[in-house]
Amino acid sequence: MQKREAKILIVDDDDKNRLLFKVILRKEGYQTIEAKNGKEGIDKILEEQPDVVLMDIMMPVMDGFTATEILKNDERTKHIPVIILTALSEREEKLKGIEKGANDFLTKPVDAQELLLRIRNHIQIKNYHDFLKNYNETLEKKVRERTEQLRKAFEEIDSAYKDTIQRLSNLAEFRDPETGEHIKRVSLYCKFIAEKLGMDKKFVEYIFYASTMHDIGKVGVPDNILLKQGKLTSEEWEIMKKHTLYGYNVLKNSKSEILNMAADIALNHHEKWDGTGYPYGKKGEEIPISARIMALADVYDALRSDRPYKKGFTHEETKKIILEGDGRTNPSHFDPKVLKVFEEYHEEFKRIFDENC
């Protein structure tokens, strides 16, 4: 802001004083505004937003101390410099002015040269303040814009990851037509279990998507084994078990947290809490929690589902097998906390299965 553009508010109840200040200031190219008391001065400041205020002390309606205090406690006006004009030279009065927030003092009668120097200095300070304020507002706007750009970019990346996950999951469905609904159901079981275990929102979302890829490794299993109508031989079963390793090798070492969770699930979802699972015989908390959740979801859905070599069990039969065991499936296979969720909320598993057959 150039000096000739600066606006100075003169707040004084004496007409002669206001005229004197106006002549001095206008001669230097300043614009001037006038007010006869503190209340009128406050109104003019809010309306005109001057660059400096010359504030007399002893005025009717509202004195300069009160007006200064009000201005300095208002976010809209506290940055405007206030120069107190007073005939009082006592130390106590100056201290009171400082307490109310005044930026400077001039004692009447005012020396014109000193007045202009003080005003020039305070205008420079205010200009710097205004520059910083505008700069910060511009910076904040750019930060908001950049944050929104990053948010949109993240959403696009996130959407791309999820789309990739869905396409990878569909690979298994192409090999085995019965897999599609199974994938959908187990993702819902896993999401439900994770919520009941009190996992955070990110984990719940990730396992919903990651669980769909638990059998992605079956793309590496030959059709004559994967689609065999009867019981597998011991040799065929060893080949089938390798789908956990195939899936892990496809998904491991990703920059995506979802795909890394999917890799854990693919490798470990046939591991059992008691150490009798495969491929490595892990037990207890050696098995990632995501895979421990998936293990129960997978077993429940496998027991309920029709297969070429068996007819699916009812919900009650499946519940009994999981909670009591049948020789092949035993409660010791499952994380006790996950098993407890199933025991308490087994009807929700039934609902998910019935609605997604």
Segment 186-194 shows an average pLDDT of 97
The pLDDT tens digits of the residues spanning 49-60 come to 999 999 998 899
Partners of 86 in beta bridges: 107
Segment 98-124 shows an average pLDDT of 86
User: DSSP letters along 45-57, please?
Assistant: HHHH--SEEEEES
Reported as a pLDDT band with limits 50, 70 and 90, residue 157 is: low
Q: Lowest-pLDDT range, 166-175, 280-289, 340-349?
A: 166-175
- pLDDT exceeding 90 applies to what percent of the chain? 53
Give residues with Cβ within 8 angstroms of 246, minimum separation 6. 216, 217, 218, 219, 220, 221
Q: Supply the mean pLDDT for the chain.
A: 87
What does the pLDDT read at residue 166?
66
Task: Decide if 289 contacts 266 (C-beta within 8 A).
Answer: no
**The token pair that represents 44 in the structure block:** 């003019």
The pLDDT tens digits of the residues spanning 9-45 come to 999 998 999 999 999 999 888 999 999 999 999 999 9
**The token pair that represents 155 in the structure block:** 């959403």
What does the pLDDT read at residue 303?
95
More confident: 78 or 322: 322
Segment 240-258 shows an average pLDDT of 90
HSE, side-chain direction, 13 A CA sphere, residue 259: 18
Per-residue DSSP letter, 280 = S
CA distance 72 to 266: 65
Which residue ranges make up each domain of the chain?
3-139, 176-355
Residues 302, 303, 306, 308: is their CA dihedral positive or negative?
A: positive
CA distance 51 to 74: 16
Reported as a pLDDT band with limits 50, 70 and 90, residue 206 is: very high
Reported as a pLDDT band with limits 50, 70 and 90, residue 231 is: confident
> Integer distance in angstroms from the first to the last C-alpha of the chain?
73
Burial of 22 (0-12, 13-18, 19+ CB in 10 A): middle
- Say yes or no: domain 3-139 is CATH 1.25.40.340: no
The alpha carbon of 278 is separated from its chain's Cα centroid by a whole number of angstroms, namely: 39
Segment 62-84 shows an average pLDDT of 90
Segment 100-125 shows an average pLDDT of 86
More confident: 102 or 309: 102
Tokens 């007409």 sit on residue: 15
CA distance 172 to 169: 6
SS3 category, 104: strand
The pLDDT tens digits of the residues spanning 311-333 come to 899 999 999 999 999 989 999 99
Strand ranges (E), 168-299: none
Reported as a pLDDT band with limits 50, 70 and 90, residue 78 is: confident
Top CATH class, 176-355: mainly alpha
**81 vs 10, 18, 37, 196, CA distance in Å?**
12, 18, 17, 60
What does the pLDDT read at residue 176?
58
Task: Decide if 273 contacts 284 (C-beta within 8 A).
Answer: yes
**45 vs 5, 129, 141, 357, CA distance in Å?**
16, 17, 27, 73
Reported as a pLDDT band with limits 50, 70 and 90, residue 160 is: low
Give the angle subtended at the CA of 71 by the CAs of 67 and 77, to the nearest 5°: 150
What does the pLDDT read at residue 2?
41
Q: Lowest-pLDDT range, 69-78, 136-145, 303-312?
A: 136-145
